[in-house]
Amino acid sequence: MKLSRQHWKILVGIVGIILLTVAVFLADQRSTVLPENETHSKVRRNDYGKGKKKEELQVEIQDEDGKMIQKEILEFELQERAYSTEEAEKVLTVEAEALETKILKQNPSPDLVQTDLDLITKIPDTSIRVSWESDDYSVIDMTGRVKAEALPEEGKIVELTAVLNYQDTLIRHSFPVHVYPPDLSRSEQAEALLQETLEKTDEEKKQDLWVELPDNINGKKLIWSRKKERRWIAIPVLGAVIMGLLILEKKEQEKKRKEERKRQMMLDYPEIVNKLTLYTGAGMTVRTAWERIVEEYQKQKKGEGRYAYEEMQKTWYEMNSGVGERRSYERFMQRCQVKVYQQLGMMLQQNLQKGNQGMTEILRREAMQAFEERKALAKIQGEEAGTKLLLPMFLMLAIVLVMVIIPAFLSLQI
Amino acid at 12: V
Residue 24 has pLDDT above 60, yes or no: yes
pLDDT of residue 149: 65
Residue 167: left (phi > 0), alpha (psi -120 to 50), or beta? left
Own/partner pairs for 5-9, CB < 8 Å, 24+ apart? 6/387, 7/387, 7/390
pLDDT of residue 387: 66
pLDDT of residue 389: 67
CA distance linking residue 3 with residue 18, whole number of Å: 20
Residue 336: left (phi > 0), alpha (psi -120 to 50), or beta? alpha
pLDDT of residue 283: 82
Range scoring the smallest mean pLDDT among 65-69, 89-93, 338-342: 65-69
At residue 155 the predicted structure's pLDDT band, cuts being 50, 70 and 90, is confident
Higher pLDDT, 383 or 263: 263
Mean pLDDT, residues 135-149 taken together: 84
Q: Report the DSSP beta bridge partners of residue 77.
A: 54
CA 260 from centre of chain: 31
Helix, strand, coil in percent for the chain, rounding step 5: 55, 15, 30
- Which segments within 79-229 are labelled E, that is strand? 129-134, 156-166, 169-179, 216-217, 220-221
Residues in the chain: 414
Residues 6+ apart with CB under 8 A from 38: none
CA distance linking residue 306 with residue 264, whole number of Å: 8
At residue 414 the predicted structure's pLDDT band, cuts being 50, 70 and 90, is very low
Amino acid at 414: I
Residue 317 has pLDDT above 90, yes or no: yes
DSSP of 281-322:
HTT--HHHHHHHHHHHHHHH--TT--HHHHHHHHHHHHHHTT
At residue 34 the predicted structure's pLDDT band, cuts being 50, 70 and 90, is low
pTM score, whole prediction = 0.44
Higher pLDDT, 372 or 317: 317
Yes or no: say if 178 and 184 are a contact pair by the CB < 8 Å rule: no
Residue 248 has pLDDT above 80, yes or no: yes
CA distance linking residue 403 with residue 398, whole number of Å: 9
Range scoring the smallest mean pLDDT among 77-91, 197-211, 295-309: 197-211
Compute how many other C-beta atoms are within 10 angstroms of the C-beta atom of residue 284.
16
By CB atoms closer than 10 A (0-12, 13-18, 19+), residue 189 is middle
Mean model confidence pLDDT for the chain: 81
Higher pLDDT, 11 or 340: 340
CA distance linking residue 318 with residue 328, whole number of Å: 6
Mean pLDDT, residues 6-10 taken together: 66
pLDDT of residue 381: 67
Closest by CA position to 266, among listed 368, 378, 349: 378
Residue 132 has pLDDT above 90, yes or no: yes
Yes or no: say if 396 and 404 are a contact pair by the CB < 8 Å rule: no
Mean pLDDT, residues 386-398 taken together: 71
Mean pLDDT, residues 139-143 taken together: 87
CA 298 from centre of chain: 51
Residue 81 has pLDDT above 50, yes or no: yes
CA 112 from centre of chain: 46
Residue 413 has pLDDT above 50, yes or no: no
Higher pLDDT, 297 or 398: 297
CA 60 from centre of chain: 45
DSSP assignment letter at 79 = P
Reported as type and span, the H/E element at residue 208 is none
Residues 6+ apart with CB under 8 A from 108: none
CA distance linking residue 222 with residue 230, whole number of Å: 23
With a pLDDT cut of 90, the percent of the chain lying above it is: 15
For the stretch 176-231, pLDDT in tens is 999 988 776 666 666 767 777 788 888 888 888 888 888 887 777 888 888 777 77
Residue 155: left (phi > 0), alpha (psi -120 to 50), or beta? left
Residue 268: left (phi > 0), alpha (psi -120 to 50), or beta? alpha
